[in-house]
Amino acid sequence: MRRSMLGRLAVAACSLSLLTAFAPAAVAQADGGGHDRSYKKVGYFTQWGVYGRDFQVQDLEANGSAGKLTHINYAFGNISPQGRCFTGNVPGEADAWADYVRPLDAANSVDGVADTGEQPLAGNFNQLRELKAEHPGLKVLISLGGWSWSTHFSDAALTPASRKAFVESCIDLYIKGNLPQDGARGGAGAAAGVFDGIDLDWEWPGSAGDTDTTYRPEDKQNFTALVKEFRTQLDAYARSQKKKTKYELSAFVPTAPAKIDAGFDVRRIMRDLDFVTLQGYDFHVSGEPRTAQQSALRARGDFSVDSTVDAWLRRGAPANKLVMGMPFYGQGWTGVSGGGDGMGQPATGPAPATWAAGYEDYKALKKLADSGAYTIHRDRRDGHAWLFDGTTLWTYDDPQVLRAKTGYIREHGLGGAMFWSLDADTADGELMIAVDRGLRGR
């Protein structure tokens, strides 16, 4: 998904569309606890968001999102050139400091207690553990790969021996929690119990991803075998621990039918995956020469959420294992000419933004919308919105769009909603509230 958003966005624009989705499915009832178990609500927490954005795990408690989520996907875990899960303090490759070394003070801690110098687990991992203590039904998965860190996935999945060793290393590091020693931090079992499963974010098996990411024609069969290896080893470890519930296994999967067919044996992988999160955004990106929707629910002759769902259903995926991806950010263009509402018009380039040109968090776009300087435009039939001031255009999802999408999820019996990423929401969790209410039919 998205370690380097700009690189990922360019390839996502290759997506194609199919026809409308159908296939109702039975939906489980709520379990009566603090979380609504009828649908999955999966949010990505970014490792690096604790720096510039200053978005801490504790903020999920403060803005109310923790009580609404069913899953947090922690982004990301990396894969070494030797095909192993690893961590450490390697610029651009691993950040153990953020993961489990960095001490947090009482104000930034979920339980309101400052970390000490002696405790073996600190950083984000310890805060996730504390968050789970407050919300016992909440599950945390380690997401492996992402756009920038899928580099060595193909090599790790290449042979039965490499797959076995790769999966063993990931289970040892994240599920057993055997972290490298870093001063007082880490050690055997230091992170045990933090992670409840693994999310595979290989972008993309069998087709091009980031510039340095290896891919092969045999990736499709190897990904299928890798999913099976994860399922087998996770289940075996759960049995050895006499665990009452299994470790979960999910994957982030693409929109483009060509990418689906190149890398995913859909019927076979869905037997071993608990669910997949669908790419529901970046249908068009700010690097393109004309403005366009990035996350429409439906779009005639274009790619959309509906066509993505249909592509996976037609290839044999069960509807209740499809979790719809939703953006908590927008794509933007500037130098837009041609008049009208700005959509489909030429542009000179990506719009200026806080963190990266052409990419802006929802919380910032909401301020633009509230400022009165931009007009909010909506395509209610196709389910998308955009802001336009005559020169600059941002396409994004706001609560009204998300209500339409959650209605679609309920109507088609899908498994739930996923969001990239939690740090882009408002301080009061406006988007999370909209999704939660929408999935409850409120």
CA distance 33 to 67: 10
Which of 61, 118, 134, 203 is an active site residue? 203
Q: Tokens 């290989």 sit at which residue?
A: 202
40: how many CB neighbours lie within 10 A of its CB? 27
Q: What are the tokens at 285? A: 């990106």
CA distance 3 to 14: 19
- Provide the pairing of β-strand 89-90 with 94-95: antiparallel
12 and 358 Cβ atoms separated by less than 8 Å = no
CA distance 339 to 343: 9
Q: Tokens 């390697």 sit at which residue?
A: 90
Q: At what angle do helices 399-411 and 305-314 cross, to 10 degrees?
A: 20
Distances (CA, A) of 116 to 104, 130, 217: 9, 15, 50
CA distance 437 to 61: 18
> What end-to-end distance do the CA atoms of the chain give, in Å?
30
**3-state secondary structure (DSSP) of residue 370:** helix
CA distance 438 to 442: 6
Polymer length in residues for the chain: 442
384 and 297 Cβ atoms separated by less than 8 Å = yes
CA distance 172 to 180: 11
**Which helix (H) or strand (E) is 220 found in, with range?**
helix 219-240
Any catalytic annotation for residue 203?
yes
Residues with catalytic annotation? 203
